[in-house]
Structure 1
């Protein structure tokens, strides 16, 4: 019984805030009532670039220390001579894998952090690890040619069997190539993009699909596991066929999975189901909104379908804005405010919304306050050690609410780290280009400027 209560408290942090905490003004009898200061749970202020960079540094320092770039042999000894690679060779154990889709996001986040801060160490994190993968790949390919049955440490890179293996890593590698990594990633890039374009299962109309958990399933996650790689490949090669496929995926997924009334995507869609249960899982919606931002970043402004993608992005951001909690986070099931507050999705939304402001897709005055609050919420979940708290673990597709409500959270859920890097980097860019204000800032402006000039100002 006690264990169940403790688990509930962990999974539902929103209940930890009492009504008094939600509205606990300073009780100064001499101050006008409309100027009494709220007692916010999440810091209600515009962050500074210095503050954001400190958060990014904590995450960087933790990941640099806990994701080693090293192979080991069967005895656990370091293996530096790649000619000695065999079926027992493994990556040296760290807190996270170097070749997962989550780490594709992290590599991209580190590159963006370098762009935003001017600090090369972030990009070097990505360069060092991707160069390592390029250096060891020939030895593992040779091993696999000699023994086709082997499932070695690089098997998912050399023989991807799902979009999870290919898309995020491919997009990050193309970005690294364009950032002049200094090594040749093209063999891996070509292998990944070949899988996405030619080997992944599709519907008759070309929509990327899976046979899990049921035949002919669409996962919203798969937009991100495919479209950014296709978009980057279009820019990288100049071949418009990649843009065409990327736009098609967004529009055909949205035709089946976007709820225009709520402005949200459902997580899964099964072709043979007579009804399609709608569970608006937060991180899947994050993959969706980030996909559109990533596509618009490289899609030529006059390209066929671009206006439709941009319209969908605006609708989605508006839908997300309608469900932001007073703490700045979004809930695990976005439209279920008794589900727990989730960090990775909040970080992805922060990145996507900040970039949409920076690119002029949406209004800074409308969305600037909410994205500042969202970043402050995310920053509160980065520990002094640099671990990201409050992230839902990997999640399949479910058809009942309990499946999503009770997914565990853990600092070793890799999904939180790349989004935090992306969010922080884009927030720094926001501060360079715009002057976001929160509502209290506006009150202070009127107090100082309007009332100071002899006018009478009173909040109504």
Structure 2
């Protein structure tokens, strides 16, 4: 067996690198990367401050307070990002020095119920999360948690800003407490806290948002008793950029810890989107930064302010990096804002350090300043507060902004960046990423290259036509009506293999017609006989037409390699076991060479590391194994394909470690999984480490098979962002509608799966199956995870159960939501084992045989 020179050279390469990196956005700003700017300001502040933030240090007024806590947290995050422990140690000392050995906090008084006392606890939580279980740190954060248990609240449960600010919620207060409580819930296993965190964010939105401007009022007084409060609404009179920045940071930082199963998660992301739209609307068009009073621009006395501007850039960039906001919509504003910070607000010092300027030293509401000016929320008040350089409320967010902007510009472009889908609001976002390739209007009939209908082998003619089409810049390689025979077909860029109506392209059953190539077999990379139609690192390829692709597989050839007979070992078993062992022990792929004598069947269609793929209109029958299996590929459209193939392991469409996929208007009649989404098997899947993500499945029919839409079982690289809608799943031989197959050997996170408007006829096991006991079950070291699964408007005619959920103690199943669904003719009890919360909203379960009602009061007729 010989490998082509190109494939052998690439055989050891297994990491998938998308070629559309962010060449369209700047990597440096004013001569340095964003991370370098964060380090420059961090170095400058550490030099300037020395021990001034520490108890017992150079500043006798140093205290436990939110303001130095913000800078300290920025330094800790910078240290975690860069690996420079000097930043982490400086930030941690600034806070930890105020904690006594017994865990009490210097100067702290719980009875003040001051929400500003909470933020330094985030630095201690960060230390705990890194593994530093210092008992003093633990006692200190538990003290802060205890304060929030008893903290006074509004009538709806919103935290007062302080005891001496009764009945008031401030935007500032959301940042002070919410991210701390969310992380505390994770570190100390208190999941009920997530609901309280969500409540605070939602209440602040309800009582602060102004639809006219898209902004948020600084504060709200439930009692309408404060001099600054509107007597009808309770709102304070102006929009202060830093207050809105606090709220923005509170949301993105809390979302780091809120589980996707949190009921208010979609609502919170929606609040974030509205906040982002308002912030971008009022961005100064000239400088890119924001004004002290956000919406009053150049009004005399107003000024471009450093802390709020830094907070906005940080929160927006992080929201894009986390997938809460679409990059394509907000990237320009973020880049303009960051550039504006450097051009307008960062200044150089004679000693080579830098400073952040034009920061409002402090602003609040109520009481009177030392100079006798009341804090009445007026415009004159906000602009009267001192304007300073290097206030920690600005320097901390600036450092954080650089970290997030660096992530954004150094990752993929808007079209390819990964994100976490939260629900159907992200559906159009996924669709917008998928565009079918187009081809020049030039045809290359295979008959022009020597092919004759009915001849024993047209392989050479087809290969010549593909080469000519590719060399000419692309077009269609046309298979005319008639019967044609071929071996392996290897597509090249810009080639559309068009199987005309009335054409049947039959693939020869001689394994020697299929050269050895780099491929995957059941999720493990190897060198093996070529898939029937294969492409390696090509762009703009297609298989179209109304003709038929016939694999000619039966039990006398390909299928016989996995024929199961009593008392006999299948012909593929020895090679399969050897391959799986190679994957587990990291044998280089170039040494995993298999061939026809090993009886590992090829898949039918496999684009490998390809981009821009269209498979449309064709019918596929008699496949050796999986029919359509794009691997490590992107931008894939499968449309109008009809698959009827009932051999062993004849999955219909198996996207694997690929992204941005549309499957629509198809028919799957496979006898195995109709659509099986995969991402690599066990150790080999973890080695490659590429998830399958961003899939839309719609307007399709699933007939015979183990499952309609299935995730797994080869899923070690993870699967996310799957949307299924307007499908019909109905066959006496269809086992499940939506199925998750995972275990503690596979591992992998399967998340963000949304199904709606699906009609299920009869299925054999359940409409939804989540099975962690599949094959090896709990006998492994890798946690299987399924989370954020939503079924909406799904109806079934008949099934034993609606749900069959079998977890394991070491696994995670959470956020299963079923809404507006009806499941009929149920015959067995529902199964839910080792799972988190499963939510039913307006769901009807109708048993096949309704039990007779038992009345304690006899009916009138019985008297």
Category of TM-score, reference length = shorter chain: 0.7 to 0.9
Structure 1 distance, partners of 2:273, 2:403, is: 21
Q: Which residue of 2 aligns with 1:324?
A: 283
- Deviation by residue 1:150-176 (Cα, 9 ceiling, x = unmatched): xxx91127876411112x112222122
Q: Which residue of 2 aligns with 1:417?
A: 395
Q: Which residue of 1 aligns with 2:383?
A: 405
Offset of 1:369 from its aligned partner? 1.4
Q: Which residue of 1 aligns with 2:518?
A: none
- Do structure 1's residue 367 and structure 2's residue 345 form an aligned pair? no
- Deviation by residue 1:31-65 (Cα, 9 ceiling, x = unmatched): xxxxxxxxxxxxx9653594323322232223323
**What is the correspondence of 1:187-266 to structure 2 with a 5 Å cutoff?**
187-198=139-150, 200-210=151-161, 215-266=166-217
> Are residues 436 and 353 of structure 1, via their aligned partners in 2, closer, same or farther at CA, if it must alter by over 3 Å?
same
Offset of 1:423 from its aligned partner? 0.5
> Are residues 71 and 45 of structure 1, via their aligned partners in 2, closer, same or farther at CA, if it must alter by over 3 Å?
closer
Offset of 1:348 from its aligned partner? 0.6
Q: Which moved more, 1:397-406 or 1:301-310?
A: 397-406
> Are residues 318 and 268 of structure 1, via their aligned partners in 2, closer, same or farther at CA, if it must alter by over 3 Å?
same
Asked if the contact 1:67–1:94 (Cα under 8 Å) also holds between the matched residues in 2, the reply is no
> Are residues 403 and 191 of structure 1, via their aligned partners in 2, closer, same or farther at CA, if it must alter by over 3 Å?
same
Asked if the contact 1:102–1:415 (Cα under 8 Å) also holds between the matched residues in 2, the reply is yes
SS of 2:356 mapped into structure 1: coil
More strand per residue = 2
Asked if the contact 1:280–1:335 (Cα under 8 Å) also holds between the matched residues in 2, the reply is yes
Structure 1 distance, partners of 2:214, 2:316, is: 14
Structure 1 distance, partners of 2:250, 2:191, is: 18
Offset of 1:288 from its aligned partner? 0.6
* TM-score, normalised by the number of residues in structure 2: 0.40
Q: Which residue of 2 aligns with 1:57?
A: 39
Q: Which residue of 2 aligns with 1:278?
A: 237
Offset of 1:409 from its aligned partner? 0.9
> Are residues 336 and 50 of structure 1, via their aligned partners in 2, closer, same or farther at CA, if it must alter by over 3 Å?
same
> Are residues 215 and 124 of structure 1, via their aligned partners in 2, closer, same or farther at CA, if it must alter by over 3 Å?
closer
Structure 2 distance, partners of 1:271, 1:60, is: 40
> Are residues 294 and 243 of structure 1, via their aligned partners in 2, closer, same or farther at CA, if it must alter by over 3 Å?
same
Residue among 235, 255, 268 paired with 2:219? 268
Q: Which residue of 2 aligns with 1:390?
A: 358
Asked if the contact 1:98–1:129 (Cα under 8 Å) also holds between the matched residues in 2, the reply is no
Q: Which residue of 2 aligns with 1:47?
A: 28
Asked if the contact 1:157–1:188 (Cα under 8 Å) also holds between the matched residues in 2, the reply is no
SS of 1:156 mapped into structure 2: coil
Unaligned stretches of 5+ residues in structure 2: 1-24, 225-230, 366-375, 416-863
Asked if the contact 2:92–2:123 (Cα under 8 Å) also holds between the matched residues in 1, the reply is no
Structure 2 distance, partners of 1:207, 1:179, is: 31
Asked if the contact 1:67–1:95 (Cα under 8 Å) also holds between the matched residues in 2, the reply is no
Q: Which structure is higher in RCO with an 8 Å CA cutoff and minimum separation 6? A: 1
Q: Which residue of 2 aligns with 1:354?
A: 317
Residue among 104, 109, 116 paired with 2:74? 109
Asked if the contact 1:369–1:436 (Cα under 8 Å) also holds between the matched residues in 2, the reply is no
Structure 2 distance, partners of 1:376, 1:216, is: 40
Q: Which residue of 2 aligns with 1:441?
A: none
- Deviation by residue 1:249-293 (Cα, 9 ceiling, x = unmatched): 111121111113322110011123223343110000001111111
> Are residues 412 and 257 of structure 1, via their aligned partners in 2, closer, same or farther at CA, if it must alter by over 3 Å?
same
Structure 2 distance, partners of 1:434, 1:257, is: 36
- Deviation by residue 1:108-164 (Cα, 9 ceiling, x = unmatched): 211222233333322222233344344x4449x5xxxxxxxxxxx911278764111
More helix per residue = 1
* TM-score, normalised by the number of residues in structure 1: 0.72
- Deviation by residue 1:195-243 (Cα, 9 ceiling, x = unmatched): 1221x22112211114688642221111111111111111112211211
